[in-house]
Structure 1
Amino acid sequence: MGSKYRIVPHLADVFAEIGGRTSLDAFSGSGVVAYLMKAMGYQVTTNDFLAFPAVISRATVVNHGTLLTPADVELIGGPTADGRDFIQRTFDGLYFTPDDRRFLDSAWSHIDRLEPVKRDLAISALVLAAARKQPRGVFTVTDLRYDDGRRDLRLPLREHFGETAAAYNHMVFDNGLPHRAVVGDVFDLPAEGIDLVYLDPPYAPPRDDNCYIKRYHFLEGLSVYWRGQTIMENTRTKKLVKKYTPFSYKRTVTEALRRLFKKFKDSTIVLSYSSNAVPDAAVIRDLLAEVKRDVEVRTVDHVYSFGTHTSARRRFASEYIFIGR
């Protein structure tokens, strides 16, 4: 929904201008910006309030050299180790075919036995496989109403997993520095000693909502096999209880941004924000100017991947890159 994949080249230019050695991706999401930071030679800390972004960061940023072997992939895609059926029972008739749901349970029976780094790689591949198989990659619908005939919607999850595992293996490299991934509230993070802070908070839209849990609850649950999660059994989609963030609401987002900028006032701040959201660019610039002498705004035309139908007018937006030095 909010992936920054398409604006990574613009962010790379900004980061190259800023320089520095240490960086924080405070709302890491898909992990593409944190991965960019690692590729550019930063010592990276990532944070997100959801579990599956942290798993992805551990697999691709923290991980320097561990890969899934062909034997690992074959084992995970093979017969179940313990006969578990939680996903088959809980999501009976939802999202995937019976064979796909059986595979997810079986895969986790082996993932549970892997050493930690291989486990992170395998979970990341499993999450990506599930996202690719689900129409539009979001779990707000339970049928194939958005079936556009793509190969991804036809390929069994077991085969998806083989492909995504290979893709994640290809991403692993060592930049010679230690990194870490955190799951938590951005306001609880230490602010000292960070040269570059990248902020991509949830956007507060004028209408509708930006609830990541509503759209990605299945991926969040899958990343931990629903341990410690509360499923809302009365919902059609079996979604998880929503986590509160002040950035999601028009009445609280402005003060939350002010607190955020004040917290990281001693670092160079780079903020991504959308013209589809509130507050507007002028307000954000003024907020940054409260703690930064030099505030620059760059504009990038952007098409969001969420809502790929041609009538989804809110897909088209300007992405603002605010730079506070």
Structure 2
Amino acid sequence: MIKYLGSKRRLVPMLTELFERSGARTTLDLFTGTTRVAQAFKAAGGHVTAVDTARYSEAFARTWIETDRESVDARELDSVIDELNELPGEAGYVTDTFCVQSRFFQPFNGERIDAIRAAIERDHAGSTLEPILLTSLLLAADRVDSTAGLQMAYIKQWAPRSFKPLRLVVPELLAGPGRAVRGDATELAGAIGSFDLAYLDPPYNQHRYFTNYHVWETIVAWDHPEHYGVACKRVDARDDETKSVFNRKREMPDALRQTIAAVDAELVVVSYNDESWVSLDELREMCAVHGDVAALAFDSKRYVGAQIGIHSPTGEKVGRVGHTRNLEYVLVAGDTDRVATVTETFADHRA
């Protein structure tokens, strides 16, 4: 899985247990990101609807959530992956933009990304294999990038992993159906349907996923956008349409309150942390519209970029590491008895 701000990797076992204890069968993951939690719910037997605004997130959701492993011709997929791996590199937009004008990848890997992405567009656009191949490419690129995890900057000196040759592997697919939806959570929360359980992991602060992962956005869109700045961010990052209300401090609390309230689910689970613009008490009040609320807290390492310090847009270290740990909150709201049942094994984590 790609290096991702706000990743819930450490919480997945706990969230999976909550899901299993709830008895839920239909699930909404409203800010799905890399789909890590959605995958866990699907693997546990849920029919998951995964929602996000990002193009790369839609590719992940179409791969791991919407695609039923049993419907894929494994031999054909293996063959296509092998063919893509054999392609010679060919310098194009990625090489020029993200290897020469900036330094996210070494040029020999940028050339491979260009060649593979062009082949996917030429030979597989609109096919059932397209999202799987895009996912494989993003995962391969992430393994050889030269960043601290975010794409607002790159490391001044090439990261050791960037010297490795890019190579695609077949993503591990999951059995069963699901649904991938690209859209705005504030617009979809009350219109997307009813669910046994809804999981919300909204952005916490001013950090924008559109700019933090603009390279992935561009590789999936394959629209060769104009760009600006040292990090060669997409020029449409300046447009209001690409800015989320959840990244605006004054507007975010009301947007979150309305989104939580609009969700139609018997059990609502919200994850947040103690670095956000909303306090735990405010979160309790927001979730109370769905019934009784239990709040849990888990000590966690901060994302990798926060652990190695502050860097300039050129990758030069300009600040020292502050705190390296935070508290991850998980709030569960719904019928009193059901909330008690799904949270009883986490009594030591009550907040």
Normalised by the shorter chain, which TM-score bucket? 0.7 to 0.9
Cα distance in 1 for residues equivalent to 2:246 and 2:165: 37
1:267-308 CA distance string (max 9 Å, x none) = 31100101111111111101212x122000011111133313
Give the corresponding residue for 1:97.
106
- TM-score under structure 2 length normalisation: 0.80
Sort the Cα spacing of 1:255 and 1:38 in 2 relative to 1 into closer, same or farther, 3 A.
same
The percent of aligned pairs where both chains have the same amino acid is 25
Give SS of 1:156's match. Answer: coil
Counterpart among 101, 106, 129 of residue 115 in structure 2: 106
Match of residue 136, structure 1, among 148, 155, 159: 148
Superposed displacement of residue 143, structure 1 = 4.2
Asked if structure 2 preserves the Cα contact closer than 8 Å seen for 1:56 and 1:120, the reply is: yes
What is the SS of the residue equivalent to 1:312? coil
DSSP-derived class of the 2:28 partner: strand
Alignment correspondent of 1:14 = 18
* Deviation, structure 1 residue 118: 1.7
Q: Equivalents in 1 of 2:264, 2:129: separation in Å? A: 37
Answer whether contact 2:106 2:163 (CA < 8 A) is retained: no
C-alpha distance after superposition, 1:100-125 (max 9, x if no partner):
11111110122121262322111111
* Structure 2 residue ranges without an equivalent (≥5): 310-319, 335-351
- What is the total number of aligned residue pairs between the two structures? 303
Call closer, same or farther: CA 1:141–1:11 in 2, change over 3 Å: same
Report the counterpart of residue 285 of structure 2 in structure 1. 286
CA contact (8 A) 1:78 1:106 kept: no
2:49 to 45, 48, 51: 45
Question: 1:37: Cα distance to partner?
Answer: 1.0
User: Does structure 1 residue 35 correspond to structure 2 residue 33?
Assistant: no
* Mapped pair 1:88 → 2:95: yes
Give the Cα–Cα distance (whole angstroms) in 2 for the partners of residues 111 and 140 of structure 1: 27
Verify the 8 A CA contact 2:35 2:60 in the aligned structure 1: yes
1:113-152 aligned at under 5 Å gives the runs 113-114=123-124, 116-134=127-145, 135-145=147-157, 147=159, 149=160, 152=161
One-letter code aligned to 1:119: E
Q: CA deviation at 1:191?
A: 4.3
Find the partner of 1:323 among 327, 332, 342: 332
Whether the 8 Å contact between 2:30 and 2:185 is mirrored in structure 1 is yes
TM-score (norm 1): 0.86
Amino acid at match of 1:214: T
- 1:1-325 matches, within 5 Å, as 1-65=5-69, 66=72, 67=74, 69-79=77-87, 85-93=92-100, 94=102, 95-112=104-121, 113-114=123-124, 116-134=127-145, 135-145=147-157, 147=159, 149=160, 152-157=161-166, 159=167, 161=168, 165-166=169-170, 168=171, 171-175=172-176, 178-189=177-188, 190-204=191-205, 209-226=206-223, 230-231=225-226, 233-240=227-234, 241-242=236-237, 243-289=242-288, 291-307=289-305, 308-309=307-308, 311-325=320-334
What CA RMSD, in Å, does the superposition of the two structures yield over aligned residues? 2.2
CA distance in 2, matches of 1:315, 1:215: 20
The 8 Å contact of residues 52 and 185 in structure 2, kept in 1 or not, is answered as yes
